[in-house]
Amino acid sequence: MKKILSLVLVSALGGILTLGAYKLFLEEEKTVVVTNTTPQPTFLPTNNINTTLKAYEDSDFTTAAENTVNAVVHVKNVSISSEQMTIQDLFFGRTPQQKQLGTGSGVIVDPKGYIITNNHVIKNSQELSVTLNNNKTYKAEIIGTDEETDIAILKINADEDLPVVSFGDSDNAKIGEWVLAVGNPFNLTSTVTAGIISAKSRDLTGGNSQSFIQTDAAVNPGNSGGALVNTNGELIGINTAISSQTGSYVGYSFAVPSNIARKIYMDIIEYGNTQKGVLGITAGILNSESAEEFGIDDTEGVFVSDVTHKSGAEKAGIKKGDIIKQLDHIKILKFEDLKGYLKTKRPKDIVNVKLIRDDELLNIPVTISNTDIFSVEFLKMELRDLSSSIKEKYDIPNGVIISKTKNKWLYNKLGITEGYIITKINNKKIESIQDISNLKAKYDDDFINNLESLAYINEYGEKKEVLFK
């Protein structure tokens, strides 16, 4: 048996040696090529700069975080809300109330204790307190608010100068740029998250009234009013909103640009309120469909569909049909770009408007107008003069349009709301808001008791007149 095994082993060893010698000395060398039948895309650089980005040069956020966390504060808001009434409450005439605690963030922008936060963070507050990153807590005073931009200014009195975040230029922020969101989500103080700028000039209302910076930095409840900073630690936005079906972060957050927040802050400190200015145009939104309607080929910019009487735009010579392409150094691709930049301007500021008229590029300086020349507050309504396009649409020579209203009496009685046009009051023709100002000066807001007749046009173009006495 042992002899048989020895023969097998000797035979196997001889075979291996023979095969090895053949492969080594006799067989021709062949190259094996592995192919991939799936077509491979060709990747080309999207710029013409022959430099290689080093990740570590742009992804170290420690300095920016260190320069920010000590200037971002925790804001606590104690408000009073009404509870559901019981039978006992109704019997004794009581209105049950309870305290509610809301929290958010704020950014110190002045060493004397001035803080920028969101208006919704401090709304309806009965008590306000601010806690610094060193755990010191102070009572806070509301200096001023602007509901339209959701910005509020607070003041605390500390014993020493406080650390601040310096303002950056949000107009220079670029899509794809790294940013940090610093705040107090879920009452967790001094939380820092990183992301990139996803878009600029975002509007969440559908009414072209906002111009947010959109980022993918994680922002959650409690971050509102906190800082959005660039990698230099400069403030480029105030974190304000998230896009979510659950109420928590799911991918996108939105911030008020720092140039807008800074302007609101300076207005409130200097004037006590927000100085609002307008260019004086009615804008037409440009896209393929509207461009065809306007009879033009351009789909980028702001189409001037009307010019407001007595406005800076009219005085400068801007005309219906112009296409606005740039304000100062800011390119205008859509209406939100224009709206956002104008929110950084005050009445009497001069803006250089680049526009296209009859295929010619023009540069026209325009003085920003005060909104007071366009509207008047009367009977809890904001009334404006009619544009020429509205006069043409309804075929009327006079009247004023309701741009905003809180007059529940007129709404409940007649359904009068925003967009309605008032043409006569007490059988007197209303030519412009100057006639409304004259009535206001004569009767003030008690005019409702002197209202005898009202002629108006509803949203369907129907002309109606109602007698009250």
Q: Is the pLDDT of residue 451 over 50?
A: yes
Predicted local confidence at residue 214, as pLDDT: 95
In 93-170, where do the E strands start and end? 97-110, 114-118, 125-131, 137-139, 141-146, 151-155
Give the model confidence (pLDDT) of 35-54 as tens digits.
233 333 332 333 333 333 34
Q: Is the pLDDT of residue 329 over 50?
A: yes
Q: What distance in Å separates the CA atoms of residue 68 and residue 47, rounded to the nearest whole number?
A: 33
Q: Are 107 and 71 in contact (CB under 8 A)?
A: yes
What mean pLDDT is reported for the chain?
Answer: 83
Give the model confidence (pLDDT) of 117-128 as tens digits.
999 999 989 999
Assign 362 a pLDDT band (cuts: 50, 70, 90).
Answer: very high
Q: Is the pLDDT of residue 374 over 90?
A: no
Percent of the chain with pLDDT over 70: 81
Longest dimension (CA), the chain: 133
Q: Is the pLDDT of residue 269 over 80?
A: yes
Choose between 102 and 27: higher pLDDT: 102
Choose between 101 and 346: higher pLDDT: 346
Look-up: residue for tokens 């296409």?
Answer: 323
DSSP single-letter state for residue 167: B
DSSP single-letter state for residue 124: T
Residues 6+ apart with CB under 8 A from 118: 104, 150, 151, 152, 224, 225, 238, 240
Q: Is the pLDDT of residue 234 over 90?
A: yes
pTM exceeds cut of 0.85:
no
Percent of the chain with pLDDT over 90: 51
Predicted local confidence at residue 55, as pLDDT: 39
Assign 95 a pLDDT band (cuts: 50, 70, 90).
Answer: low
Distance of CA 280 to the CA centre of its chain: 21
Average of per-residue pLDDT across 211-235: 93
Average of per-residue pLDDT across 338-363: 95
Cα distances from 51 to residues 48, 338, 431, in angstroms, run 9, 35, 65
Predicted local confidence at residue 85, as pLDDT: 61
Vertex 138: Cα angle to 137 and 143 (nearest 5):
140
Q: Count CA atoms within 13 Å of residue 359 on its CB side.
A: 2
Vertex 200: Cα angle to 194 and 205 (nearest 5):
110
Query: What single-letter amino acid sits at 218?
Result: A
Q: Are 432 and 422 in contact (CB under 8 A)?
A: no
Predicted local confidence at residue 315, as pLDDT: 94
Give the model confidence (pLDDT) of 402-432 as tens digits.
988 988 888 988 899 999 999 999 989 998 8
Predicted local confidence at residue 29, as pLDDT: 42
Give the model confidence (pLDDT) of 60-93 as tens digits.
799 899 989 999 999 999 887 655 666 655 555 5
Reduce the DSSP state of residue 232 to 3 states and report it: coil
Predicted local confidence at residue 88, as pLDDT: 59
CA-based radius of gyration for the chain: 33
Residues catalogued as catalytic: 120, 150, 224
Average of per-residue pLDDT across 15-31: 47
Q: Is the pLDDT of residue 174 over 90?
A: yes
Least confident of 33-47, 90-104, 149-163, 223-237: 33-47
Predicted local confidence at residue 345, as pLDDT: 95
Predicted local confidence at residue 370, as pLDDT: 86
Q: Is the pLDDT of residue 337 over 90?
A: yes
Assign 94 a pLDDT band (cuts: 50, 70, 90).
Answer: low
Assign 401 a pLDDT band (cuts: 50, 70, 90).
Answer: very high
Q: Is the pLDDT of residue 21 over 90?
A: no
Predicted local confidence at residue 252, as pLDDT: 86
What size, in residues, is the chain? 469
Least confident of 10-24, 90-104, 216-230: 10-24
Assign 376 a pLDDT band (cuts: 50, 70, 90).
Answer: confident
